[in-house]
Amino acid sequence: MVDRLEATLTLDRPVSSVKQVSPARERVLSSRGIHTVRDLVCEYPFRYVDLSRIATVIGAPIGQSCTIAGSIHKIEAKRTRRRNLGLVEITLVDATGTLMIACFNQPWLTNQYHDGDRIAVAGKVEFNYGFKRMTNPYIERLGDDEAAMGQVIPVHHASEKLKTGHMRAIIRNALEAVEGLDDPLPVELRGKYRLMSRGSALRCIQQPQDMAEVAQARRRLAYEELLLLELQLMARARERSAGKDPATHIVDGICVAALEAALPFELTDEQRVARSELLAAMGAERQANHLLLGDVGTGKTAVALFGLAAVADTGMQAMMMAPTEVLATQYATGLGPLLDTVGVSWALLTGSTAPEERTRILKDAEQGDLVVLFGTHALLEPDVQMPRLSFVVIDEQQRFGVEQRAALVAKGDCPDILSLTATPIPRSLALAVYGDMTLSYLTQRPRNAVGTRTRVFDREQAGDAYEVARQALEQGHQAYVVCPLVGVKREDPEDSRKKGADPVLGGENDDETLAPDAIAVEWDADLAGMDTRAAEEHARMLRRTVFSEHRVGVLHGKLGAEQKRRVMEAFRAHEIDVLVATTVIEVGVDVPNATVMVIEDADRFGLAQLHQLRGRVGRGDAPGEVCLISGSRAPIAVRRLQAMEQIQDGFRLSEYDLSLRREGDILGNRQHGASTLKLVNIMRDRNIIEAAHADAAEMLEADPDLAAPEHAALRRELRLMLKEKP
């Protein structure tokens, strides 16, 4: 027992306590974020060289990664045209042929290896100038007895001051120091999924005998990472409502029943399920924190409307906040009449609300005479008070900073929360980063049975794209032309994170933030700092040329609130045929007669943003058509735009987008501990994510404080994650 406890405590001792970690090496490790023994044993290899599967030079497939063993025929340093770029060229031969190896910025190789040395190299094979080649491969020396042949060699990130071989030795010493450590996973869970122990998993992932061991170790450690994260998220959610008295809403009252009868349309099956899930959360005795993820046009606000009705039945009050005045105004025109029908009082409060009207609304809200208050950021003002606030709805929640969302929730004692987003997030990703929320999904569009077609046009084909719009206008329909931002530089995701935006969903509280692509936190460096085409200039050009016989309006975030309102009203009334706009129209704009959208410089938008824009057309009885104009020849840009042509479903599109990304781009900067997910692959590990989420919820339901003896080790791990004392 003492040895087990000692090994477990060693995990959190300084890395300097490990044999062969000198002060110099400690400084190098510290610069890489490795401060403790735990950090060291969890510094997993980024790849493995499988010397049990050696390819010959002649048999090595071009374009694929493989391992080749042979002898160095020649090694020499060469000059390149760039003075700061050193090159070491190695000629490797085996019984079948010659492999040329180029190693850049590694001058020490000429001292480390010599002609005649036996080595194995692992990397991607290319072919040019008559030879198969590798560039900057991993190199492993083979002894005369070739004892390394048949082994699996882990490869860690290295530097000139700390080679990968040194890392292997240090990690081996660390594993010896923690041998026999406690396993935080209860025996029941390990048996349920046939998982190896933590100690075995760490050894197998760091010192595998074969690749099958690596797979089993990764599976075990990935599950542990996810279970701890889900427990952390759920524990923090419970802490937020601890000591408070959340409202238990009446979810089968008169207003809820009257609302269903008053709806001018039938709810889809998905909407009914989502409504039941929302009302169940609101009717529970604990605070609801519900996320409704709905593809564009799937009717999220219709589901939210039933939550507002439940608030009225309970005798409480609600706020619903939108990121733009355009969208908040649509609440008033779309949801307001339905609330009137069932006898629920409501008002709209925005930055452009007249002073006299604002005074009246604030008085009614504070006296409790107002049940529902729609609005924009104006709801966050200190003098906006609703004493019986029990429900807040945050539409397009990713467009608000964390502090803004918290400020709205803080206006009530412990209100239930409903967050809406049209950003399509696969369930696996949503569970991994929003494990503290209950989730509902909408994927079916009640309207647009005829669908929307998307086509990509080269810059030279722009005229064909605008001809599609002209034909729609001649048939009595309307069109959008979307330009990138008005003279605003594309925003670096790092800046968004600093301002409190959600790095998973992107966005900030500006009408026109060109958010990092949905789930995407990927910054196109070549676009940084480039000013984009101004919508007003483009509108003037279109008035003179393509649409000279039609009425062209312009809408962008720099217009005043009243100007925006007048433009949108004119477009809805068909007093404008073509609306030239920036991404201010991305969210919530609903004009059924608009059937065509032309998007300029489409390659500058993320897939999720393009999909949201696409959702603005085809909302009536006529099919929609989206024309994406792009001058980019970059392969990644071409593939993404082609995906827009082929995939209509937003969730499938987001899964495709995820498949193009590095895992760190998806999870590496998410708050609440997701940066601890070193081994999780969102697409590959869906089943593990689902299992960990379900297990965490079941565990906390049965043992909220993890006080049971079998949960002691798990409780200690969780407290360490939460920065508490064990």
- What's the rounded Cα separation, in Å, for the pair 577 and 584? 18
Element spanning 91, H or E: strand 87-93
What's the confidence (pLDDT) of residue 239?
78
Length of the chain (residues): 726
CB 379 within 8 A of CB 319: yes
What's the confidence (pLDDT) of residue 480?
95
**Residue 21 — φ and ψ, nearest 5°?**
-95, 95
Question: Which two tokens mark 523?
Answer: 């910054």
Nearest to 241 by CA among 66, 470, 414, 458: 414
Strand ranges in 483-520 using DSSP code E only, listed in sequence order: none
What's the confidence (pLDDT) of residue 423?
76
What's the confidence (pLDDT) of residue 498?
35
- Type of residue found at 142: L
Q: Which burial class, exposed, middle or buried, applies to 565 when counting CB atoms under 10 A from its CB (0-12, 13-18, 19+)?
A: middle
**Tokens 């412990």 sit on residue:** 414
- What's the rounded Cα separation, in Å, for the pair 77 and 110? 7
**Residue 121 — φ and ψ, nearest 5°?**
-125, 140
* Distances in whole angstroms, Cα of residue 704 to Cα of each of 232, 247, 403, 697, 712: 12, 21, 28, 9, 13
**Tokens 């050696």 sit on residue:** 54
What's the confidence (pLDDT) of residue 388?
96
Nearest to 491 by CA among 466, 469, 509: 509
CB 377 within 8 A of CB 321: yes
Q: Could you give the residue ranges of the DSSP H alpha helices within 344-461?
A: 355-367, 402-409, 427-433
What's the confidence (pLDDT) of residue 495?
37
Chunked mean pLDDT (size 10), the chain, 726 residues: 80 94 93 93 90 90 92 91 83 96 91 92 92 92 62 83 88 95 94 96 95 95 94 84 84 95 91 96 92 85 96 97 87 92 95 93 95 95 95 88 89 94 80 86 72 91 94 95 60 36 35 29 26 67 92 85 84 93 71 93 86 86 92 86 89 78 45 63 87 93 92 90 60
- What's the rounded Cα separation, in Å, for the pair 280 and 288? 9
DSSP 8-state assignment for residue 55: B
Q: pTM for the complete prediction? A: 0.74
- What's the rounded Cα separation, in Å, for the pair 621 and 638? 31
- What's the rounded Cα separation, in Å, for the pair 221 and 214? 10
CB 613 within 8 A of CB 585: yes
**Residue 576 — φ and ψ, nearest 5°?**
-125, 130
What single string gives the DSSP state of each residue in 612-650?
HHHTTSS-SSSPEEEEEEE----HHHHHHHHHHHH---H
| Count of CA atoms in the C-beta half-sphere (13 A) of 409 | 21
Nearest to 608 by CA among 486, 502, 488: 502
- What's the rounded Cα separation, in Å, for the pair 629 and 632? 9
CB 117 within 8 A of CB 90: no
Q: Could you give the residue ranges of the DSSP H alpha helices within 18-102?
A: 23-31, 37-41
Helix (H, G, I), strand (E, B) or coil at 213: helix
- What's the rounded Cα separation, in Å, for the pair 390 and 287? 10
Rg, the chain, Cα only: 30
